Amino acid sequence: MARFTPHTDDDIREMLEAVGVEALDDLFDDVAPKFEGSLDLPPVSSEYEALKDVAELAGRNVTGLPIFLGAGAYDRITPSAVSSITSRGEFLTSYTPYQPEISQGHLQAIFEFQSVISELTGLEVSNASVYDGSNAVAESALMTARLTKRDPKVAVSAGLNARYREVIETYGVEVVELPFDGTTDYSGVPDDVSGVFVQSPNYFGAVEDVGAASEAAHAVGALAVAVCDPIALAVLEAPGKLGADIAVGETQPLGMPLVFGGPYAGYMATHQKNVRQLPGRIAGETVDQDGRLAYVLTLRAREQDIRRARANSNICTNQALTALAATVYAALLGPEGLREVAGLSVSKAHYLAEKLGEAGFALRYPDAPFLWEFAVELPDAKKANEALLEAGIVGGLDLGDGAMLVAVTEKRTREELDAFVEVVADAV
């Protein structure tokens, strides 16, 4: 069967003349392969031989080690029910279900995700998730500019995750850094910013004053954006009740394993009055013509898909599968379960910090309250991590300036915590 194409030879010739080239191949001159040598490839393998080689390579991966590495993604317990539900065929997609007539269950799951986020953040509306936490932070920076009708310029605490800041800058947003030394100093917020960003707990694990950030933002006519760990919101006051206009963050802690860095899902929540400027999808609850409960995609302008230059955002899907994982996790644990996860993490982290202190290692920010992550001063963090890995432990993040960022979750046992201190003390 011949391949169908709607363009005639005359059409193609006319288009080529319009762009100033003679042949279709000329369109690809700028991306022509630069490699002109030969590749040293192994002999062709059969399917069985190839799979055997892959299995051998995969066998070199080390699994099951206690992990003290955090900095935005955390080694938490994922109940088996999460993967059992998310692996069902009707849910196996990352895409938004566009046909409500055949997607009621999926749309309801997205709606429930939004409800969980709204309850945790204390804000009336949430979107159906975005790609990840850094994407949510960057999109909220543009959102503040649209809402304030100012140029995209934001003030961010130096305690904001450095990766998040990098993504903000790739969006063409000007960033003004506010100093952090245990607490963030908001006295230098410029009067022309569209948003003021605070992360709590921040990159260094410190619990920040979201209320102070909100006051500083509103004093200059800007919006306050709180970047929050959803597990932390089970024990900290909701940002919406502390004056934040927008809350964003990463939902990986809600039932998603580390899986080599993704895929994860970012959340965004705001007040009802700002809903028209909320990027991405929103699932709504309504009734059909017979009065039965129904779920649909709502408040989404066609520009999002067909006139991209006029769209609020160019996000082209939501992370439906990972958002579902977060929803299942939150539903399984409930409010008490989330608080228990947070409480266990806090108590174990403070135990480790105390033991490290007894071994002669001081916290970088001793007066800053923290939950389950903290920066500890080490004379040689690299050497400590090498010793930990040799002992079968994944250490914390080497900050590169004489300190290690250590994360402790509900997974860690007393034996693992004591072993961490012993290995570090012996190594450095």
Most confident by average pLDDT, 14-23, 254-263, 358-367: 358-367
Pairing between β-strand 403-407 and β-strand 397-398 as defined by DSSP bridges: antiparallel
Q: Where are the domains of the chain?
A: 80-328, 334-427
Judge whether 224 and 196 are in contact, CB under 8 Å. yes
Instruction: Compute the residue count for the chain.
Output: 428
Residue 80 has pLDDT above 50, yes or no: yes
Task: Summarize pLDDT for 109-154 with one digit per residue, the tens.
Answer: 999 999 999 999 999 999 999 999 999 999 999 999 999 999 999 9
Tokens for 269, please give them: 């929540």
Distance from C-alpha of 223 to C-alpha of 201, rounded to nearest angstrom:
19
Please tell me the class of the 334-427 domain.
Answer: alpha beta
Edge to edge, the sheet with strand 403-407 lists: 373-377, 403-407, 397-398
Residue 50 has pLDDT above 80, yes or no: yes
Residue 376, SS3 per DSSP: strand
Task: Summarize pLDDT for 303-326 with one digit per residue, the tens.
Answer: 566 666 777 787 777 888 999 999
Judge whether 105 and 284 are in contact, CB under 8 Å. no
Name the DSSP class of 370: B
Q: For residue 201, is the peptide bond before it cis, meaning its omega torsion is within 30 degrees of 0?
A: yes
Does domain 80-328 fall under CATH 3.40.50.2300? My reply is: no
Distance from C-alpha of 428 to C-alpha of 424, rounded to nearest angstrom:
6
Residue 1 has pLDDT above 70, yes or no: no
| Residue-wise DSSP of 255-298 | T---GGG----EEEEE-GGGGGG--S--EEEEE-TTS-EEEEE-
Q: Which residue is it, tokens 């009708």?
A: 149
Name the DSSP class of 53: H
3-state secondary structure 303-345: HHHHCHHHCCCCCCCCCHHHHHHHHHHHHHHHHHHHHHHHHHH
- Could you give the residue ranges of the DSSP H alpha helices within 33-170? 47-58, 80-86, 104-121, 133-148, 162-170
pTM listed for this prediction = 0.87
Judge whether 114 and 122 are in contact, CB under 8 Å. no
pLDDT value for 259: 85
